[in-house]
Amino acid sequence: MNKLKIAVQKSGRLHDSSIKLLKDCGITLDNGKDQLKAPAGNFPLEILFLRNSDIPQYLEDGVADAAIIGENVLIEKPKKAEVVQKLGFARCRVSMAVPKNVDYAGFGYFNGKKIATSYPFTLQSFLDKRGVQADIHVISGSVEIAPNIGLADGICDIVSSGSTLFKNGLKEVETILTSEAVLAKSPRITPEANDVMERLLFRVRAVLGAKNTKYILMNVPNEKIEEVSNLLPVLKSPTIMPLKQKGWSSLHTVIKEDTFWEVIDKLKAAGAQGILTIPIGKVVL
């Protein structure tokens, strides 16, 4: 059977989360330490462990059929690849920062300034759109130190919590783009590999759906069932089962994580009692 070759970051912040996602999809991996290729034991898939910056080129060339990669990398290295699913982890932003003591009044500050970055294409595109002329210094790592050693007046780099900027005496002043991990596929993927890709995508979406939802149970007076049901953003309709106590029923449904507390308050006000939530392993639609 034709295998789907999927590229994953060899090491770095996306690696562990990418492997966990595949395992949550029920895929067992036969990978030993320092292997560059690892076959799946129960799914027609093979992982290629690659340098993050090399993955877009491998996708364009068809060496990898698919990849789990940060959006920011695909933007910085604009190769032909299609994003098929955002994955919700490794969220970050590519931002510009300057020393804390700088009186920053707008991106015009960077006119004629030196900017250190690992994202020259992304930065240059941002500057061009705003008519800013700056001297870009490309650095492969430890960009935050550049202003402290006199190499640059500011930086453009990836930011997650902002703690690294703070430790290096910098402040974030412009957000160029936001990013998260995505599942992308090659324009050269074969029909057979694409079929496997669709099977993988089905599993991925089931896992992601579970992370954003909870299973909820509650006891509701029968005369309040209609009112409570109207408050619930459910997949189709809630399950209702009569309780031993007359006049009461148990109502079961699925609720989105981001609306949980808002909906819970409304349910209590409508008469729901004994509200219980249970984590969901998978959501298959």
3-state SS, one letter per residue, for 207-229: HHHHHCEEEEEEEEEHHHHHHHH
The sign of the CA dihedral 231, 256, 160, 69 is negative
Would you say 68 and 18 are in contact if contact means Cβ atoms under 8 Å apart? yes
pLDDT at position 125 is 94
Residue 36 CA to residue 262 CA, distance in Å, equals 47
Residue 34 CA to residue 53 CA, distance in Å, equals 18
Residue 283 has pLDDT above 80, yes or no: no
Region 2-22 average pLDDT: 90
Residue 83 has pLDDT above 60, yes or no: yes
pLDDT at position 234 is 61
Residue 199 CA to residue 142 CA, distance in Å, equals 40
Region 50-61 average pLDDT: 93
Q: pLDDT: is 74 or 162 the higher one?
A: 74
Residue 1 has pLDDT above 60, yes or no: no
pLDDT at position 31 is 66
pLDDT at position 223 is 92
pLDDT at position 173 is 94
Those residues with Cβ within 8 angstroms of residue 213's Cβ, 6 or more apart along the chain or in another chain: 254, 255, 256, 257, 280, 283
> What proportion of the chain, given as a percentage, has pLDDT over 70?
96
| Residues 155-206 pLDDT 10s | 999 998 888 899 999 999 999 999 999 999 999 999 999 999 999 999 999 9
Residue 27 has pLDDT above 90, yes or no: yes
Residue 22 has pLDDT above 70, yes or no: yes
Buried b (16+ CB within 10 A) or exposed e, 241-280: eeeeeeebbbbebbbeeeeeeeebebbeebebeeeeeeeb
pLDDT at position 107 is 86
Query: Predicted confidence band at 278 (pLDDT cuts at 50, 70, 90)?
Result: confident
Query: Predicted confidence band at 34 (pLDDT cuts at 50, 70, 90)?
Result: low
Mean residue pLDDT across the chain: 89
Residue 112 CA to residue 157 CA, distance in Å, equals 19
> What proportion of the chain, given as a percentage, has pLDDT over 90?
60
pLDDT at position 172 is 94
pTM listed for this prediction: 0.80
pLDDT at position 80 is 86
What structural domains and CATH numbers belong to the chain? Answer: 4-88+180-210 (3.40.190.10), 92-179 (3.40.190.10), 213-279 (3.30.70.120)
pLDDT at position 32 is 57
Q: pLDDT: is 113 or 258 the higher one?
A: 113
Residue 95 CA to residue 98 CA, distance in Å, equals 10
Region 110-123 average pLDDT: 94
Give the H/E segment covering residue 154: strand 154-159
Query: Predicted confidence band at 235 (pLDDT cuts at 50, 70, 90)?
Result: low
